[in-house]
Structure 1
Amino acid sequence: LAPFYSAAHREAGGYWTENRQHMRVFYPLMGLSLGVVDVQRPQLYNAELLAEMASTAKNRAKRSVSNALCIERRAPLASARQAHTQVS
C-alpha cells in the first residue's frame, strides 16, 4: 500500500492528523494481510475444518508486521478421503 502514501509519510512510518475528538494523533501506515485456504477438492473437507484452516491462515497473516499473504494447506480429512474413494 506504500504507493498510496507520500514519501514523507512512508519515511515517518505514518502520519499525524486530527481524530474525531479533534485531538492530534499519529496513525501508522496501513498494511494488507491475507489469509488464504488452498483447497484442491472441496468435497473432501467439512465446514469445521475449513473454518479452522481459515482462522489459522488469518491469524498467521495478522501477526506479520507488514503486508502478508499466508496460505494454509492441509490434507483433507482421512474419513472424507476414504468415503470419496469408495464412491468413485
Structure 2
Amino acid sequence: MDKISFDEARYIVPQDPKYHSRIAPARMVRQIMQDFTTPRQQQMLLLYFYQQKKMTEIAAMLGVNKSTVSRTVKRGLSRVQRQLRFYMEQENGR
C-alpha cells in the first residue's frame, strides 16, 4: 500500500457549529502528527480520521489485526491530544 502524505489529508470540520471553537487548526494538527507520532501511527490516523476508513478496513489494507489498528490509533491520538493540551496551556499562560 502506498503511504498517505499529509498533503493528501483533508481537515474535516464538524457540521455542528458548537464544535468549531474546539477544533485545532489543521496545520497545527498536521505538524504535531509529523513531529510527535510514529510513521505507522501517522498512517493509521490519516486513514481513520481523514479518510474515514473503519478499523477493520485499515487492518485488511495493512495486513494487521484489528486490535493492532485500534491500539495504534489510540496511542497516536493520545500523543496528538497531549501536545495540543500542552500548546493550549502555553497559549493561556498557565
What TM-score, normalized to structure 1?
0.31
**Structure in which a larger fraction of residues adopt helix:** 2
Could you say which structure has the larger radius of gyration?
Answer: 1
Higher strand share: 1
Greater length-normalized contact order (CA 8 Å, ≥ 6 residues apart): 2
